[in-house]
């Protein structure tokens, strides 16, 4: 989600957000070397990306088109809700495989 959050701040004039892909800068495959030992780093990266997103949209109206993009902030928020729902669903499927419990 760190990478998806980066959509909000991709045009803020700052360097790209450094999130982890295989824990190697510039790598494009994020699933080759997954390690629970790096969960703290991943969570910190996510929190940093979310905070940067909040700063990037602060004071902007939902009707505004994001600079460098063709979408309004409202459209981006809706897209982000879909992304979070999708990824939360993936996480729930993984959890189900681990503990066997299913929802109602």
What confidence tens digit (pLDDT) does each residue in 24-39 have?
666 666 566 667 787 8
Phi and psi, residue 82, nearest 5° = -60, -45
What the block records as the tokens of 16 is: 């790209």
The pLDDT of residue 62 is above 90: yes
CA dist 17 and 37 (Å) reads: 21
DSSP H stretches of helix in the chain? 2-5, 39-57, 73-99
Contacts of 44 (CB under 8 A, 6+ apart): none
The pLDDT of residue 63 is above 90: yes
Mean local confidence (pLDDT), 1-19: 71
pLDDT score of 32? 62
């Amino acid at each position: 989600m760190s990478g998806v959050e980066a959509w909000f701040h991709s045009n803020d004039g700052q360097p790209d957000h450094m999130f982890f892909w295989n824990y190697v800068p510039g790598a494009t495959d994020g699933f080759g070397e997954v390690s629970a030992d790096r969960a703290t780093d991943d969570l910190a990266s996510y929190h940093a990306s979310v905070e940067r997103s909040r700063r990037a949209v602060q004071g902007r109206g939902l009707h505004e088109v994001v600079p460098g993009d063709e979408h309004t902030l409202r459209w981006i928020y809706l897209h982000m809700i879909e992304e979070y729902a999708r990824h939360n669903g993936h996480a729930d499927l993984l959890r189900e495989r681990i503990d066997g419990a299913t929802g109602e």
